């Protein structure tokens, strides 16, 4: 590790001390997400030892060298991760916020608690694929900001890094890691011969491409982030009510997704318009791959919400889509065939079919049941976890466990006017909240 020190900020580069086993050829799924950073913050109710964190991270990078590597693109358009141990920037800085004030900053694109990975530039320049920022807060607590390049992997891959890092600081057993030098080849061995036949990506025409560029360029000004909390009892009442109305057992995720899209349609005046929900699906569970398999192993369900549909009926449709995913929604081979048709070197011009802000297509990514708040780092478990605003792309959202793992925290990016209307719709959002329901253990002040 090397570093520099100022009066209140230290920046060091953390390395494993040895290169990884060799380059990794990214999959089509990795390519489609290779312009995106993902950023999160873990909040702790006391200090963390930066030296213990850095030492544990160095050991963890020895097991997961992809995070310490760099990207390159070959002449054929293939994206590679060179596991060359170029390293991870680790910043320790004093931040003039209390824990509550730091939580408030999660909805700000320039919240200052995370050094966001420069994802697009990292495809052309040897830039880091993971950054770490330990913020020492004014009340003796701390916020650990982490950002990684989506091409390295999805949330399951990042959770594997955190579990490995925790094991390396606590001296516990390391989780299993399953990597492949060719990720498409690894996935191919587990795919059925045929899939749904519909690719999960599209090549926008010049007009839509220009509109999407404007959406990205103006995202910070045009959109706002809203956070909503549902207590455990409230979520259970919602799930039970929708299950009873639908005549079948539904999951909490089914009920929450249907409820949230229903509320958004009400406050945004969707009326007779059809609106689509996109729900990413972890392909490891679907295809029988180990949990420790690296990469972006994601499919998606795209389910239209048609006029006249009630939230309970829609939740039941979503449950059926989950059960029939392999036959009716799995589209990995269709994605490969689509890229063979347009040319793999044009993958950067494609967009996921589920990203369609002009039609208000809502994406809800569930990051629940990963156990992140049960993982100690340098002896201390986090008390809260939140996505951190990055590109502020509209109609994107994330569902995670609430503070201390209780309930659900929903983080949603919306156009400014729609966000304002949602903030005034507490009665619609919380029909199953009771006056005696407890408040979250810690929370931002503007939590709905």
Q: Taking Cα atoms as reference points, which of 96, 90, 91, 89 lies closest to residue 141? A: 96
Whether residue 8 is predicted with pLDDT greater than 80 in this model: the reply is no
Rounded mean pLDDT of 104-125? 92
Query: Which pLDDT band, with edges at 50, 70 and 90, does 268 fall under?
Result: confident
Whether residue 284 is predicted with pLDDT greater than 80 in this model: the reply is yes
Strand partners, 380: 377
Chain segment 315-326, per-residue pLDDT in tens: 999 999 999 999
Residue 359 burial (10 A CB sphere; 0-12, 13-18, 19+): exposed
Whether residue 5 is predicted with pLDDT greater than 50 in this model: the reply is no
Beta strand segments in 45-100, E? 70-73, 79-82, 88-94
Whether residue 4 is predicted with pLDDT greater than 50 in this model: the reply is no
Rounded mean pLDDT of 25-41? 92
What pLDDT, on the 0 to 100 scale, is given for residue 295? 97
Chain segment 138-167, per-residue pLDDT in tens: 999 999 999 999 999 999 999 999 999 999
Report yes or no: 329 and 196 within 8 Å, Cβ to Cβ. yes
Chain segment 44-99, per-residue pLDDT in tens: 999 999 999 999 999 999 999 999 999 999 888 889 999 999 999 999 999 999 99
Q: What is the CATH number of domain 192-368+391-429?
A: 3.30.559.10
Chain segment 384-396, per-residue pLDDT in tens: 999 997 878 999 9
What pLDDT, on the 0 to 100 scale, is given for residue 3? 41
Q: Which residues contact 165 (CB under 8 A, 6 or more apart)?
A: 56, 57, 60, 375, 377
What pLDDT, on the 0 to 100 scale, is given for residue 7? 42
What pLDDT, on the 0 to 100 scale, is given for residue 309? 92
| Edge-to-edge strands, sheet with 79-82 | 24-25, 79-82, 70-73
Q: Taking Cα atoms as reference points, which of 92, 133, 95 lies closest to residue 388? A: 133
Tokens at residue 441, please? 């253990």
Q: Tell the CATH topology of 2-187.
A: Chloramphenicol Acetyltransferase (3.30.559)
CA distance linking residue 181 with residue 399, whole number of Å = 32
pTM: 0.94
Query: Which pLDDT band, with edges at 50, 70 and 90, does 9 fall under?
Result: confident
As annotated, the residues of the chain forming the CATH 3.30.559.10 domain(s) are 2-187, 192-368+391-429
What is the per-residue DSSP string for 312-366?
HHHHHHHHHHHHTHHHHT--HHHHHHHHHHH-GGGGGG-EETT--GGGT-EEEEE
What pLDDT, on the 0 to 100 scale, is given for residue 346? 83
Write down the H helix ranges in 105-152: 119-122
Give the helix/strand (H/E) hosting 219: helix 219-222
Q: Taking Cα atoms as reference points, which of 296, 251, 303 lies closest to residue 277? A: 303
Query: Which pLDDT band, with edges at 50, 70 and 90, does 6 fall under?
Result: very low
């Amino acid at each position: 590790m090397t570093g520099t020190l100022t009066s209140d900020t230290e920046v060091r580069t953390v390395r494993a001390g040895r290169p990884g086993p060799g380059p990794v050829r990214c999959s089509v799924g990795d390519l489609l997400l290779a312009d995106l950073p993902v950023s999160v913050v873990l909040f702790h109710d006391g200090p963390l030892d930066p030296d213990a964190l850095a030492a544990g991270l160095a050991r963890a990078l020895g097991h997961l060298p992809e995070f310490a590597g760099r990207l390159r693109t070959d002449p054929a358009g293939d994206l590679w991760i060179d596991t060359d141990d170029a390293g991870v920037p680790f910043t320790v800085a004093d931040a003039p916020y209390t824990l509550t004030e730091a939580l408030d900053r999660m909805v700000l694109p320039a919240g200052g608690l995370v050094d966001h990975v420069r994802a697009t530039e990292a495809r052309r320049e040897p830039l880091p694929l993971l950054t770490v920022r330990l913020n020492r807060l004014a009340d003796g607590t701390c916020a650990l900001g982490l950002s990684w390049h989506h091409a390295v992997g999805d949330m399951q891959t990042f959770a594997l890094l955190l579990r490995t890092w925790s094991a390396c600081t606590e001296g516990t057993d390391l989780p299993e890691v399953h990597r492949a030098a060719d990720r498409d080849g690894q996935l191919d061995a587990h795919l059925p011969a045929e899939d749904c036949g519909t690719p999960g990506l599209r090549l926008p025409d010049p007009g839509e491409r220009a509109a999407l560029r404007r959406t990205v360029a103006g995202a910070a000004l045009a959109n706002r982030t809203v956070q909503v909390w549902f207590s455990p009892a409230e979520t259970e009442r919602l799930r039970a009510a929708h299950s009873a109305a639908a005549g079948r057992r539904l999951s909490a995720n089914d009920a929450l997704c249907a409820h949230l899209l229903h509320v958004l349609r009400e406050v945004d005046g969707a009326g007779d318009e059809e609106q689509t929900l996109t729900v990413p699906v972890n392909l490891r569970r679907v295809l029988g791959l180990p949990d420790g398999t690296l990469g972006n192993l994601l499919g998606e369900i795209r389910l239209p919400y048609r006029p006249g549909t009630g939230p309970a009926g829609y939740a039941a449709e979503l449950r059926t889509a989950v059960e029939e995913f392999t036959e009716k929604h799995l589209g990995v081979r269709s994605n490969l065939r689509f890229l063979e048709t347009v040319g793999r070197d044009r993958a950067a011009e494609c967009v996921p079919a589920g990203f369609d802000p002009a039609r208000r297509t809502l994406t809800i990514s569930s990051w629940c049941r990963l156990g992140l708040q049960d993982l100690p780092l340098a002896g201390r478990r986090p008390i809260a976890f939140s996505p951190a605003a990055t590109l502020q792309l509209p109609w994107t959202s994330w569902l995670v466990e609430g503070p201390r793992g209780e309930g659900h925290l929903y983080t949603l990016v919306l156009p400014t006017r729609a966000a304002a209307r949602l903030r005034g719709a507490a009665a619609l959002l919380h029909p199953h909240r009771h006056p005696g329901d407890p408040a979250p253990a810690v929370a931002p002040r503007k939590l709905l």
